[in-house]
Amino acid sequence: MTATTIAPARRPALSEGLRRKRRQERLRNLAFLSPWLIGVSIFFLYPLVSTVYFSFMKYDGFTAPTWVGLKNWTYVFTDYPFFWPALRNTLWLVIVMVTLRVLFGLGIGLLITKVKTGAGFFRTAFYLPYLAPPVAATMAFAFLLNPGTGPVNNILGSLGLPQPGWFSDPHWSKPALTLLALWGIGDLMVIFMASLLDVPQEQYEAASLDGAGWWQRFKFVTLPNIQPIVLFAVITGVIQTMQYYTQPLVAGKVASGVIGGSGQQFEPGYPEKSTLTLPQLVYHLGFQRFDTGGACVIALVLFGLAMVFTAFLMRRGSGFLATDD
């Protein structure tokens, strides 16, 4: 088989007037786009390029940066003892916490849409915790789940059930954080409720006429209709969990009892590095150890992970997106 090449047809030369018109059109488009372009350049591109640049530099924030090649990358991946535990914890939280938050938010949303009387009260009751400041909410949970004096363990003890160490036990600290995240589920619940109320009633009626039970109605009517919202909840949940910082930091600090006074060293990720997350390391390296280069490496790892997760979910979820045809 021989390949034949076809010469591309030459485009007719544009007249001067037409060229000017196109140029003007391009400039006009750019002018309309400029607010976004300026915003993206200042708040996304510049920080991103800076972060890449500083990841190859030794920079303490005080003296001029010096080129160190891959030294920061090697240090973070091979010599920095907090990196791998933090990465494992972050992935654990992304998988477990996001899954449970979506399931729980959807479950609560489904229940509340079914409530005939007092729906307003339940909506408010489930939404209010979401408005609690994260530090206050975490401290409240640290008090409730205190293994020695907390009311939760007191109740469990009085029922003869085992009393976990919660934030003081490396096996229970992440489940405790997940409980805290489920308590503040109000944002997802509201989004799911809105999408559930949007499902056309006639589809349910048609399904009922065909003899579909509640599970089949949920599987074949509800789920296909709310799939784009589920995808949105999962993607935003993954990105939020990647940036999980305040709650594990506060929980660890409160449970460890070490406030970091004179001559005291606060242990990140108490207990036993189980509450360490990548954003905590960015802060620890960049703002406490003056190692901007190392902090930039971790920030780029976070950015890369968020991109990979989002791209994967978008590809997998593209079939979810409802089309009108």
List residues near another protein by CB under 8 A: 41, 45-46, 49-50, 53-54, 59-65, 71-72, 75, 79-81, 146-149, 165, 168, 255-259, 261-265, 267, 270, 272, 287-291, 294
Nearer to another protein, 118 or 157 (CB): 157
Structure tokens at 290: 């003056």
Smallest gap from residue 304 Cβ to another protein (A): 18
CA 15, 17, 22 angle in degrees (round to 5)?
Answer: 95
Q: Tokens for 254?
A: 């409160």
Q: Is 38 exposed, middle or buried (0-12, 13-18, 19+ CB in 10 A)?
A: exposed
**Joined tokens for residue 296:** 């930039």
Cβ proximity to another protein: between 82 and 192 the closer is 82
Give min distance, CB of 46 to another protein, in A.
5
DSSP state, residue 12: P
Q: Which residues of 179-188 are buried (b: 16+ CB within 10 A; e: fewer)?
A: bbbbbbbbbb
Residue closer to another protein, measured from CB, 189 or 276: 276
For residue 252, count CB atoms less than 10 angstroms from its CB and return exposed for 0-12, middle for 13-18, buried for 19 or more. Answer: buried
Tokens of 180: 């805290």
Minimum CB distance to another protein smaller for 87 or for 296: 296
Taking the C-alpha atoms of residue 172 and residue 93, their distance in angstroms, rounded to an integer, is 13
Task: Kindly state the smallest distance separating residue 315's Cβ from another protein, in Å.
Answer: 22
Cα four-point dihedral sign 39, 40, 46, 51: positive
End-to-end CA distance of the chain: 41
Q: Which residue bears the tokens 């006074």?
A: 261
Report, in Å, the least distance between residue 291 CB and another protein: 7
Minimum gap (Å) between residue 180 Cβ and another protein? 18
Q: Which of 305, 307, 283 is nearest to 294 (CA)?
A: 283
109 vs 150, beta carbon nearer another protein: 150
Q: 146 or 241, CB closer to another protein?
A: 146
In whole angstroms, how close is the CB of 164 to another protein at the nearest point? 11
Cβ(306)–Cβ(314) under 8 Å? no
Provide the minimum distance between the beta carbon of 129 and another protein in the complex, in angstroms, as a whole number. Answer: 25
Looking at beta carbons only, is 198 or 272 nearer to another protein? 272
